[in-house]
Amino acid sequence: MTTQRHHARPSRTRTGLAALAMCLALNLACKGESGGKEGDGGSHSDSDKSAGGGSPLSMMGPFAKMFASGLSEPGPYDAPRKSADYAEGAPHWLVVELDKPIAELESLSLFGGTTSQPLRELQAKLRKAANNEHVEGIALRANGLAINLALATELRASLKEFRAAGKRLECHTENVANAGYYVFTACDSIVLSPLGSVAITGAAATPIHIKGLLDRVGVTADFLHVGDYKGAAEPITRTEPSPEMMETLGALLDQSYATQVAAMVDGRGMDDAAAKAAIDQALFVGDAAVEAKLVDSIATWEDFVAAKGKPWTSEGSKNPLDDMTTLQRFIGLMPPEVPTEPHVALVYAVGNVIDGKGNGVVGAREEIASRTLVATLRALADNDSVKAVVLRVSSPGGSALASELIWHAVEEVKKSKPVVVSMGGVAASGGYYISAGATKIFAEPDTITGSIGVVGGKFVLGDALASVGVTNFELKRGERALIWSSMKPWTESERAAVQSMMEATYDTFVSRVSAGRGLSTEAVHKVAQGRVWTGTAAKAHGLVDELGGLDAALAEAQALAKVEASAGIEVYPAEPTLRDLLSSYGAVHAGSTWGSRVDLAVAEVGVMAGPQVAAQVASLVDTTFSMRDTRIWAMTWVQPL
């Protein structure tokens, strides 16, 4: 087991910290509870002075405490957060609510909230509860749990670990489906709300193609690929998946289906045939779910909790605003808390791989910017207290150039310490590129990985511009001076030149995998060609070493580095400071950015097919736009199931 010295703040807390820190930074008045003169922060208690001396920080103490108190107590019409008979230090049940999508990291902004719950924070709560002698069990509440199957596998393992400590895990839901139900199969019992539903519809993939949309607005995607299975350009160059893509998706669905069936057999005590029959029936409401042995009983949440017959409380009763040290770190008056003894560093690489700095530390929660991550890895390479690095990769890839630069940074770290990769829901193409050189690679059975191949091209906008009255005239010196012009497709000569550049990039990619995995280039080429593999298949082909989650990767890194499991873990990206948030504030994040005609087309999709499909189309359009200046892509569009 490991301890993690990295504490996340709830989103409202972070917003409050930002507001307080802005007040300090701009030298505005922060009145205390006693209502002192404007600008002096009111009168100060001894505790205020001891916390911050005579500095402006001490003036904020009363306001900070008042704000914290307001956040920690429910409103007059909110549901209670603990039972009337709950007493700290006495035996009780812990209520854990999974009310946000489970993700690698929480994204944030200066004035916005968070929209997800980091998996590792949730796992830490479960371990803490397992080690708390006063916690008799967990009442887990989740409705419509949003999680991909690879992360669900890690969460399910943590829930089973909690049960292995000899404590009860009882779960309640109003509606649950597929990956969420897969998680619930780890529970001692499952209780469904009256008229609640269980939907185990099986594995499915619905690839979205936007070539027709681009055709409507006069945009042509002129793209080439290296690798028979490299389908990253298919959504923008084809109206339907290729046979190779259909084969790839079929293999992913086979793995996902097998995972779901195995969990139902293991967790619900049904045989293989019964599990498959339930999946085929798909939809169960109320008592029908009980009869199918998918849940154990029917009850409202209130009755479910009352039936425990024990005091209970919700997790997370302490608010970080009570600790002025947290505020000082946020403002930058104190350095981040990192272990001083020999330890392992955990580095998250989440999102598309992009060139340049991106949005720095704040952006590192949702993008892999080459200059930002390279600087981080090289700093860790030079830090003698860091004895090993775990790189948590959750990325479909992106820029081949950025991936190559990050690969070099990983090699630099390996000169002095081991690097262990832990793959999340997807670590493919560029995501695999940056992983390939690691000392050891871990993946979950349902991780999407591989996709060793490249695509390259440009978007031709000549017809689109002409349709709105924009014309273009060419003057050049040099046969290929306009090779990257967005006004017309490539000539055959230009196409041959681009193809040659892409093949050289592919050969480099294959050589990196060959060196990192100890395979011949011929062996890599056989499993490359842009083909996407599940974690299980990747292990069979030598592309990963072990099947397991982040905990297994951290344990391996500690063993390789001979670091005690009790040592703290340094985490990147750390909790952002005010400086980090302000440096990212005002960055442009423009919708589709293709123009109003594309925006209107996406809106039309929403009217016809609903917001979920429209969101998928918009995401595809946005990602396509963000990558349009990248010459060669090492990317996959295949998403975690």
Catalytic residue among 395, 429, 486, 514: 429
The span from the CA of 325 to the CA of 51, in Å, is: 8
> What is the signed CA dihedral for 42, 46, 49, 51, rounded to 10 degrees?
-120
The span from the CA of 392 to the CA of 550, in Å, is: 7
Looking at residue 59, what is its pLDDT?
Answer: 39
To the question of domain 92-201+282-314 being in CATH 3.10.580.10, the answer is no
44: pLDDT confidence band, cut at 50, 70 and 90?
very low
Q: What number of CA atoms fall less than 13 Å from residue 620's CA on the CB side?
A: 25
610: pLDDT confidence band, cut at 50, 70 and 90?
low
Assess contact for 144 and 114: CB atoms under 8 A.
no
Most confident range, picked from 40-44, 204-208, 393-397, 573-577: 393-397
Q: Hunting for tokens 């049960």 — which residue is that?
A: 163
Over the stretch 523-557, which tens digit does the pLDDT of each residue have?
999 999 999 999 999 999 999 999 999 999 999 99
- Exposed, middle or buried: residue 407 (CB in 10 Å: 0-12, 13-18, 19+)? buried
Looking at residue 584, what is its pLDDT?
Answer: 59
The span from the CA of 151 to the CA of 101, in Å, is: 11
21: pLDDT confidence band, cut at 50, 70 and 90?
very low
Looking at residue 340, what is its pLDDT?
Answer: 84
Looking at residue 604, what is its pLDDT?
Answer: 66
User: Beta 343-350 vs 102-103: how paired, if at all?
Assistant: unpaired
51: pLDDT confidence band, cut at 50, 70 and 90?
very low
Q: Which of 456, 454, 436 shows the shortest CA–CA distance to 524?
A: 436
Assess contact for 327 and 57: CB atoms under 8 A.
yes
pLDDT above 90 covers what percent of the chain? 61
595: pLDDT confidence band, cut at 50, 70 and 90?
low
Report, as an integer, the average pLDDT of 406-423: 98
472: pLDDT confidence band, cut at 50, 70 and 90?
confident
Contacts of 549 (CB under 8 A, 6+ apart): 153, 154, 157, 422, 442, 444
Written as one letter, the residue type at 286 is: G
Q: Please indicate whether residue 33 or residue 267 has the higher confidence score (pLDDT).
A: 267
Neighbour count for residue 474 (Cβ, 10 Å) = 9
Please give the distance of CA 506 from its chain centroid, rounded to a whole number.
Answer: 27
Kindly report the CA angle at 474 between 470 and 479, in degrees rounded to 5?
Answer: 145
pLDDT above 70 covers what percent of the chain? 76
Kindly report the CA angle at 51 between 73 and 124, in degrees rounded to 5?
Answer: 50
Over the stretch 211-269, which tens digit does the pLDDT of each residue have?
998 898 899 999 999 999 998 889 989 999 999 999 999 999 999 999 999 999 999 99
Looking at residue 490, what is its pLDDT?
Answer: 93
- Exposed, middle or buried: residue 5 (CB in 10 Å: 0-12, 13-18, 19+)? middle
Looking at residue 597, what is its pLDDT?
Answer: 57
Looking at residue 33, what is its pLDDT?
Answer: 37
Range in 253-257, 313-317, 423-427 the model is least confident about = 313-317
**Fold type of domain 339-455+506-584:** 2-enoyl-CoA Hydratase; Chain A, domain 1 (3.90.226)
User: Beta 386-395 vs 343-350: how paired, if at all?
Assistant: parallel
Asked if the domains at 92-201+282-314 and 339-455+506-584 fall in one CATH topology, the answer is yes
Q: Which of 385, 383, 361, 384 shows the shortest CA–CA distance to 373?
A: 361
The span from the CA of 390 to the CA of 441, in Å, is: 10
* For residue 465, pLDDT beyond 90: no
Contacts of 46 (CB under 8 A, 6+ apart): none
Q: Strands, DSSP E only, in 104-204?
A: 117-118, 135-142, 168-177, 189-199
The span from the CA of 416 to the CA of 389, in Å, is: 11
* Average confidence score pLDDT of the chain: 83
Report, as an integer, the average pLDDT of 372-384: 96
Range in 75-89, 335-349, 353-367 the model is least confident about = 353-367
**Length of the chain (residues):** 641
Looking at residue 95, what is its pLDDT?
Answer: 96
Looking at residue 79, what is its pLDDT?
Answer: 87
Whether 310 is a known active-site residue: answer no
Catalytic residue among 65, 125, 211, 230: 230
Domain ranges of the chain: 11-73, 92-201+282-314, 339-455+506-584
Looking at residue 40, what is its pLDDT?
Answer: 39
Mark out the alpha helices in 426-528 (DSSP H runs).
Answer: 430-433, 462-466, 492-517, 521-527
Whether 82 is a known active-site residue: answer no
